[in-house]
Amino acid sequence: MRPNARLAALVLLTVALLAAGCRSGRVREDPILRLSAAEALAEGKRLLAIEKYEQARKYLMHAFEVEPNSAGGREALLLAADALFLQGGSQNLIQAEAKYRDFQNRFPTSDRSAYVQFQIGKCLAGRTERPDRDQAISLKALQALDDLVRLYPDSQYAEAAKEEIRRVRATLAEHEFLVGLFYLRYGLPLAAVERFERLLAEHPDYGQRDKVIYHLGLAYERAQRSEDSQAAFARLRSEHPDSPYAAQVPDKG
C-alpha cells in the first residue's frame, strides 16, 4: 500500500474509533440506564400522569427491558403502549397497537387481557378512513372489537366496544352506499342494486336507510325492473313516511 493511502486509511480508522467511543460514552452517560426497573417505572408513571408521553415511554421501556417478566415489567410495557395511544396520531397508534399485541403475545393469561383487546380495537378504530376511502382498517377494527365482545362479554369494556362497533359499522355502511351511488351515476344500475341490497341486509341499524331504499328504487327503475322499483318506493313510503326522500317519489296509485 502506498504511504498516502496507508495514511488515509489510518485517519479513517481513527475517526471511526473516536465516533464509536463518543457514542458509547453518551450511552454510559444516559441517566435512565442507571435506574432500576422500579425507579424507571415510578418515573415513567409520574411523567405519564402529567402527559409527558414521549419522555415517559423512555423510562417505561427501560423498566420493561430490565425486568421483562416481572409484574413491574408487564405494567411498564402496557403503560408504554398507553403512552403512545394517548399521544395520538396515526404513527403512534400503529406503534401502540404493536405494543399491545406484544403484551398480548407475551402474557396471554393476564388479567388485563380484556383491556388490551379493547385498546387494540381502539387503535385500529382511531385510524379508520373516511367513508369514501378504502375501508381495510375499518374491517380490522370491527374484527378486533367483535373479538372483545365475544371473548370478554362480561368485561367492563364490552359496552364501550359495542358503541365503537356501531360507529365503525356506520362508516362501513356509508362506504357501501357511496359505492352503490357511484355505480348508479355511471350507468351500472345492477351493480348499484347489489350494493344497496347488501347494505340493507348487513347493516339493519344504519341510520339513513330511507336514502338507501330510495336509491335502490332508482337503481331498479334504471335497470328496467319496474315492479321491483315500485316495491322499493312503496317500502320507503311505508317505513319512512316522513322522509324527504319519500316526498320525491311520485304516487302512481
Cell of 164: 365503537
Contacts of residue 93, Cβ cutoff 8 Å, sequence gap at least 6: 84, 85, 123, 124, 126, 127
Q: What is the pTM of this model?
A: 0.81
Of residues 108, 102, 140, the one with CA closest to residue 123 = 140
**Using an 8 Å Cβ cutoff, are 72 and 78 in contact?**
no
CA 72/CA 83 separation, integer angstroms: 16
Radius of gyration of the chain (CA): 29
Residue pLDDT tens, the chain, 253 long:
555 555 444 445 444 545 555 454 444 578 898 999 999 999 999 999 999 999 999 999 999 999 999 999 999 999 999 999 999 999 999 999 999 999 999 999 999 999 999 999 999 999 999 999 999 999 999 999 999 999 999 999 999 999 999 999 999 999 999 999 999 999 999 999 999 999 999 999 999 999 999 999 999 999 999 999 999 999 999 999 999 999 888 666 4
CA 28/CA 16 separation, integer angstroms: 18
The neighbour count for residue 179, using CB atoms within 10 Å, is 20
